[in-house]
Structure 1
Amino acid sequence: MSEVAALTGLSAHTLRWYERIGLMPHVDRSHTGQRRFTPRDLDWLAFVGKLRLTGMPVADMVRYAELVRAGDHTREERRELLEATRRDVLARVAELQDTLAVLDVKIAHYGTACGGTPS
């Protein structure tokens, strides 16, 4: 578990929580009870990390995981969920671009006001 935590940047507590809420599929265990993560599990955790960065609510991430486990007949619903998240991300990007433009104006103003050249 500690190796996976180090690889993913997630705490052991978070990994156990992901498994408990259904965000992480069942992870096989060794005869001593230690979780045995596969490369596929690590890929899934990397994807979940990207979903977290989008701001997707945990409930939606869990729903997506359930749909994946349900099989191919859920592809359309999965696509719709990801498209909705993409729209949210694009809106946030636009908002951040607007904010960046305001900051650039202020920085240029201070560069000129302080006798420097605008940057």
Structure 2
Amino acid sequence: MSEVPLPSLEVDVPPEGLSIGETARATGLSVDTLRYYERAGLLLDPAPRDGGGRRRYGSADLAWIAGLVMLRETGMGIGDVRRMAELSRTAGTEASRLAVLEQHRERVLADLARTRAHLAALDAKISSYRHAVAEKENA
């Protein structure tokens, strides 16, 4: 299978990788969130450690984290993200990964429809109040 496209981060990663603090800044996550994601099994692999035991994140780690952030920002739950990570660690699970993503896509589309309906209602309210304010100003 060809490589699966992941969101990219505009950051230069040195050969020794980025520290957890640098990774937090690059991804917009907190250090605590990165540690939680690792403990929760959401990363593709645990972050490699340097000689002093400190986490070092490489380009592939950052690409995975960027994809994880995108999924979380679209409302994917921790359980589904964990499932994607588990499946992604095993070759030949592309159909299962596709199913998880397609189910999530349907949820995102439903959320978008609900948000559009709410926006239309909000726009109607705003229009009504603008009209009322304009009438008072013209009276």
TM range (shorter): over 0.9
Decide which of 7, 17, 39 is 2:59's aligned counterpart. 39
* Structure 1: 5+ residue stretches without partners: none
Please name the residue that 1:79 is paired with: 98
Task: Tell me the secondary structure at the aligned position of residue 114 of structure 1.
Answer: helix
What is the alpha-carbon distance in structure 2 between the residues aligned to residue 81 and residue 59 of structure 1?
A: 11
Please name the residue that 1:19 is paired with: 38
After superposition, what is the alpha-carbon deviation per residue over 1:73-110, rounded to whole angstroms, capped at 9, x for unaligned?
A: 10000000000000000000000000000011111111
* TM-score, normalisation: structure 1: 0.92
What is the alpha-carbon distance in structure 2 between the residues aligned to residue 13 and residue 100 of structure 1?
A: 35
* Structure 2: 5+ residue stretches without partners: 1-19
Q: Which runs of 4+ in 1 moved over 4 A?
A: none
Please name the residue that 1:56 is paired with: 76
Task: Tell me the secondary structure at the aligned position of residue 28 of structure 1.
Answer: coil
What is the alpha-carbon distance in structure 2 between the residues aligned to residue 21 and residue 103 of structure 1?
A: 38
Give the CA deviation at 1:37. Answer: 0.4
Please name the residue that 1:29 is paired with: 49
Give the CA deviation at 1:22. Answer: 1.1
Equivalent positions of 1:1-20 (< 5 A) are: 1-20=20-39
Give the CA deviation at 1:65. Answer: 0.2
Q: Highest relative contact order (Cα 8 Å, sep 6+), 1 or 2? A: 2
What is the alpha-carbon distance in structure 2 between the residues aligned to residue 22 and residue 104 of structure 1?
A: 42
One-letter code aligned to 1:51: L
Please name the residue that 2:134 is paired with: 115
One-letter code aligned to 2:68: V
**Does residue 69 of the first structure (1) align with residue 89 of the second (2)?**
yes
Please name the residue that 2:8 is paired with: none
**Greater alpha carbon shift after TM alignment, 20-29 vs 88-97:** 20-29
Cα RMSD, aligned residues only: 1.1
**Does residue 96 of the first structure (1) align with residue 96 of the second (2)?**
no
What is the alpha-carbon distance in structure 2 between the residues aligned to residue 35 and residue 108 of structure 1?
A: 53
Decide which structure has greater helix share: 1
* TM-score, normalisation: structure 2: 0.79
What is the alpha-carbon distance in structure 2 between the residues aligned to residue 54 and residue 37 of structure 1?
A: 24
Identity percentage of aligned residues: 43
